[in-house]
Amino acid sequence: MHWRCLHRVVDLTRPVVMGILNVTPDSFSDGGRFASADAAFDRAARMVAEGADIIDVGGESTRPGAVGVEESVETERVVPVIERIARTLDVTISIDSSKPGVMAAATAAGAHIVNDVTALRAPGARELAARSGVGVCLMHMQGEPRTMQHHPHYQDVVAEVSEFLVRAREACLAAGVARDAIVLDPGVGFGKELEHNMTLLKELPRLVALGSPLLVGVSRKSFIGRILARSTEERLYGGLGLAALAVSMGARIIRTHDVAPTRDAIRMVSAVLLGRQAAEAS
């Protein structure tokens, strides 16, 4: 199993870690800490040293209630960081954006993946991905960041998320995106109540069965805080538990703020499920 991303191929025979790099002033977890290009690069270099396989660069917060930013502002935030990472570090780079203009600028700067919380629904986004040959991550979200947590409702959250992801994948294939360039993300925490998130995680094998590699992001999410009564900074252990659970159920990419402990956690799961040699190779 692999993820084809331009000239790079991400080996998914064992689980991999996607490190989160927010170059925004208002991220729910680390807003402002890495807003400067130098701070952002230093953070990326540290995550690579800790074992990140992918660095996911985002210039617009998608936290609940977040207000959007202009395309030019988002581009100015991410492009210098991506250019420096691409020049300096041997790592696969992802752009976390829903704007085709930002996607185009980021891929020109050196990004290999487009990670879109709206599943490439913006006009021209699928065609851009097909032309460029980037890897894509298609995420489910009910609503949009500003309103997504205003009473989200599902009859059957697993079935509805699955149907959405299959439709999004088919639309990408029809636009010319290669099947092995596509990864799916159920969007834990995006337009979902606590019970929806818990059900999706419990039923991950149903999503794995859709046939594309699955990315799961649970790092520091608010529902962990609700269950454990922990602040954002205190949710590491809850997130590690969920990352290990997700990998044991078939997830191949774990998106996280905390690279080193997450890598250790999923390597241990791999050692049990795939054998010691596979874990040591990662």
Which positions are annotated as active-site residues?
A: 221, 255
CA distance 252 to 256: 13
Q: Indicate the pairing of strand 253-256 with strand 16-22.
A: parallel
Q: Give the list of residues 6+ apart from residue 161 with CB closer than 8 angstroms, or none.
A: 140, 186, 187, 200, 207
Q: Indicate the pairing of strand 8-11 with strand 2-5.
A: antiparallel
- Identify the burial level of 90 via C-beta atoms within 10 angstroms of its C-beta, where 0-12 means exposed, 13-18 middle and 19 or more buried: exposed
Q: Indicate the pairing of strand 215-217 with strand 182-185.
A: unpaired
- What is the secondary structure of 39-62 as a DSSP string? HHHHHHHHHHHTT-SEEEEESS--
Tokens (6 digits) for 232: 């954002």
Asked if 201 and 159 touch (Cβ cutoff 8 Å), the reply is: no
Tokens (6 digits) for 35: 């807003």
What is the three-class DSSP state of 107?
helix
Phi and psi (nearest 5°) for 101? -65, -40
